[in-house]
Each structure stands twice: as structure tokens, then as C-alpha cells.
Amino acid sequence: MVQGEAGGEHRRWAAEPTFWREVFDQLGAGLVVVDSAGLIVAVNPAAEELLDRSAAAMVGEDFHDLLHRRADGTAVPREECLLLAALALGTSARGEGDGFLRGDGRLIPVAWSGAPVIRNGRLAGMAVLFAHITVGSGSPGNRTTHVTALEDLTGRMALVAEVTAVLAQTLDTDEALSRLSRFLVPRLADWSAIDLRAEGEVRRVAVTGPEGRDSEREAWQGVLPATAEHSRSPLVRVLHGGEPVLWGPGDIAAPSDSPLAAVQAGFLQSLGATSAVTVPLRTARQVIGALTLVRTGTARPFDAADLALVGDVGRRVGLAIDNARLFGRQREVAEAMQRNLLAPLPRPGPLRLAARYRPAPAGSQVGGDWYDAFLLRDGATALVIGDVVGHDLPAAAGMAQLHGMLRVLAWDRTEPTVAIVDRLDDALPAITSVSMATLVLARVEGPETGPWRLRWTSAGHPPPLLATPDGHAEYLTRGQGLLLGAGLGSGGRSEADASLPPGSTLLLYTDGLVEVPGTDLDTGLGRLRHHAAVLARRPLDEFCDQVLTRMSSGSTDDIAILALRVPG
């Protein structure tokens, strides 16, 4: 594992296709993973053998207290431990000459290297690689080479972990690839290009270079020529299911044997490429694209270890894209289902109704937001706004069940809104798949000439907002109760009532309108009250459009609003 100079023989093990999947169990060096508190969470078989301790005996123990000793066998004070300091800062560290205490009481001198473990953008712990150094059997140069090899491995493992974290930050394919490209350049390459298969064609979707690059290079983006099966071009072979390919100067300068090969050769030559790697983006079923990384200098050409590393990155990218596409298809179905279940609004005499539904931004999940309005058998108008807990198809399906059942219950008997909500809550676990939901059920009563009165019950939902033509807006905070599915049972909720002044506007909304990441709920509610007051005299459709436009910037949730205008 540690023969020759850096970049040579000691790195050839990294070229094995299964290395990164099997590295933990089959690595010849000891590997211990600790959490952010320094407690051991995993050890590999080599560590068990070197330390003469079983994994069960080590997991859960403090790494430093259990193992770390000075060369003379005395304990290392925690404040002097380089590894603990690196763990606290989330940085890499290395050391040699220290000792690790074996289970049999013997002390072994070790060289070690630690790299932070990042999950979802946060420090989760540290991976510590170590190897036994036989005192007096090797020169300082050999020991340095040994530590360098360990450090090289931990650096590569950390990079792959960071790539995974970058890809996990969004479910939007374009955004994920853009972030990936900005991460890989300049860490691994001077330029990167990503090609994706879609709808029978291959498209170059991203070309990224160093800061201050010639922007004309990005004109290489777009639809690529067809992938002729006879071509020996590395890119064509990879897109047809071939293994990762390392390009040397001869490959880059080779004559092209197909239109796609000519485009790729022109691209590489225009960059002044001296070395490149092209790896497939694979899913469990097929190759969906290719990643090409390019270096333009002669001092640091790609080698077999780089090829293995980029190949592992390609596998992760392929799976991330596949997941994003699957999510996108599910999201489209859920959004279409949700829109189709939002019933058209009635025209209850002189009252005017308007509603809007805005799905979550691309890359976010569609929720279970919904609105409804319908006439009751006694002539009153029922208004509903709700939010089913969950996302995508389950939430949309649950919303449909709740929507239909609430209509039936409201029509079945002429009774207070609280009684209807309590009956709905009782039936929820038996008749629907909904675990929890919030809603406001309101009824608007009055003769055509007024006055109009509102009666409502809230099951854990944001309060209705009433805005009057004189520019005053207030939240109707009475009638609040626990959300549906909370096990409250009947009798714990109440009905509230309020008069609706002439020309007033009642606004029901879901939490996506007032909840924006990075701000608190009170701020969102304050903004909504301000905008509603300012817009209170606008036509109802304009009122809804403006409220949605002014409030929804930055929201990652879907939004439903339902507004009622009383004649003035």
C-alpha cells in the first residue's frame, strides 16, 4: 500500500472499481469513526486486529480516553490532543509517534490521519485512519510516505462525503448539477462538463470553468450529436455503458470517428486540455449521462486513483439525478391531482369569492394544502381552508378524502361548525389515511342586504384575517382548537362568531403564505396583516394576486388562499 513516491504505486489500490464500497471492511489500515463528541461509532476489522479489541468493546467509548497515549505510555491531556482539537474545529489533522493502547495492555506506535465527516452540510464526526509503525525499522522518509498515503485516502473519502452532501441539498436536478460543478472546479479539475440523456437525445447541460474564464466556452452547452455505436470515442463508449475512461494527450488529439466524437474533441482542444476523465452517470437500470473533468496543466495529470475517485462521484451523481427525476414525476402527479380536486367556487348571491393555489417551488415537495367553498342546505355559505400533514401523493390523496368527507358531514346536518369538525375528527382514523391535518371551517350567514355574520372553528390552523375598507386588518384568534388527529375528542373545541362589516374582506390561508425559512412566524403574520390592510379596497382578484405576490417570495411550501368579499 505504501510503496514508491506519492502519486505512484502506493495509490494503485484506489483504482479498484469496488474500492470505495468495500474500503471500510477491507482496508488494510485501521479505521475508526467517532461522532462529534469523540465517541466511537464504528471500527473496521483491521482496527480490531491492530488494537486487539472487538468492535463491541470499543463502540460507545471515548476514543481519546480509551486509546490515545504518549510514546512513553502516559495519558495525553485532552487539551493537548491534536485529534480532539481538529474534531472541535471540523478540520483535518495528522500525527505520528503517538501510541494507541491495545486490549492486551501493550502500546503500539502509530501514524494517523483524521478527516471530518460531513452529513447534510453539518459536522457529524471524524474518520481516523491509522497504521502501526515499527520503531527503528524505517527512516523518517518512509514514515512520512506512510502518513501521506493515509492523509491522501482520508482526503479523498472526505471529498466524496462532501459531494454527497452537495447533492443532498436540493431535489432540483439543474440546481444539484450546478452546485456539483462549482464544487468540483477547482478542487478536482480546471473544467467540468455534464451530459444527460433525456427524451432520446444527449444534452450538455453544464460547462463550468475557473473564475475569470472565457464565457464563450459555455457555448458548448446544448444538444449533442447522436451517439453512433461504432465510435471508439471515450465519451460515446461511456454513454453506451462503458467503464470510466482516462484521456491522455494522445486520446485528446486522436482523429474523430463520429460527429459526437468531433464535438468532444473540439471542446477539449479549445480548453487546452492535457488530461481528462469521463465517467458514466449510472442509475440501477441504465446510464443516464456522463461527467467529464478536464485539467489544462502538465504538472498534475489525472491518474488511475483520480479515475476511481471520479467514477465514484459519477455513481453518486447518477443516483441523485435518478432520485430527483423520480421525485419530479411524483410531484407532477401530486400537483395535478391536487389542482383537479380544488372545486370551482360558487356565487353565493352578492358575496364574492376568489381563491389561489400555488405549488411549492421546483425542488420542494408538494404538500396537502386545499380550499373549498360550497352552499349549505340552509342557504349559508361554507368556507374551508386546510393542510394535510405530509407531502406529495399521500398528502394529495389524504386531502381528497378529507375534502369529500367534510362536504358530506357539513351537508348532512344543519349544525354549528364545531360539531362538524368534531365529527370529522372522530371519523378521521376510521375512514381516511390522514394522520393529522389542520383546517378552518366557517359559515357566512345573512340576508342579501346584510348584515353578514361569520361563525367558525379552527383545528390548529392559522387564524382568519379580516380587512376592512378603512385600512384596518385584524386576526380572528378566537375559536382555536387542536389539530385533527391529535386525539382531542369531541367537546374540546369551540365556535366563534364575528360580524363582517360592509366591504370587508375575509382571508383564509395556509401556513406557506406566512412561513418563510429564516424568519419567524410573527414576522410573517405581521407582513400579511400589513399587506391585507393596504390592499383592502382593491378588486378581490387583484387583492388575491397581490397578496400572493408580495408574501410568497422565499416560501418553500405550497400555498392556498381563499378570500370572501362582503358587499359594501
The three three-digit cell numbers of residue 323, written as one number: 432520485
> What mean pLDDT do residues 164-187 have?
73
> How many CB atoms within 10 Å of residue 121?
10
- Each residue's pLDDT tens digit, 380-397: 999 999 998 766 566 777
- Each residue's pLDDT tens digit, 202-226: 889 888 888 765 555 556 788 888 8
Tell me, what amino acid is at 7?
G
Query: Between 347 and 433, whose confidence is greater?
Result: 347
- Each residue's pLDDT tens digit, 77-122: 888 888 898 888 888 887 777 789 999 999 998 888 888 887 766 7
Per DSSP, the three-state class of 345 is coil
Instruction: List 125's β-bridge partners, or say none.
Output: 35, 117
Q: pLDDT at residue 511 above 50?
A: yes
DSSP string, 129-196: EEEE--TTSS-HHHHHHHHHHHHHHHHHHHHHHHHHHHHHT-S-HHHHHHHHHHHHHHHT-SEEEEEE
Burial of 182 (0-12, 13-18, 19+ CB in 10 A): middle
Please report, rounded to a whole number, the percentage of residues in the chain having pLDDT higher than 70.
Answer: 80
**Is residue 528 within 8 Å of residue 520, measured between CB atoms?**
no
Instruction: List 110's β-bridge partners, or say none.
Output: 98, 132
- Each residue's pLDDT tens digit, 517-563: 878 889 999 999 999 999 999 999 999 999 999 997 777 788 899 99
**Is residue 417 within 8 Å of residue 455, measured between CB atoms?**
yes
Please report, rounded to a whole number, the percentage of residues in the chain having pLDDT higher than 90.
Answer: 37
Q: pLDDT at residue 331 above 80?
A: no
Mean pLDDT of the chain: 82
> What's the rounded Cα separation, in Å, for the pair 350 and 336?
32
Per DSSP, the three-state class of 476 is coil
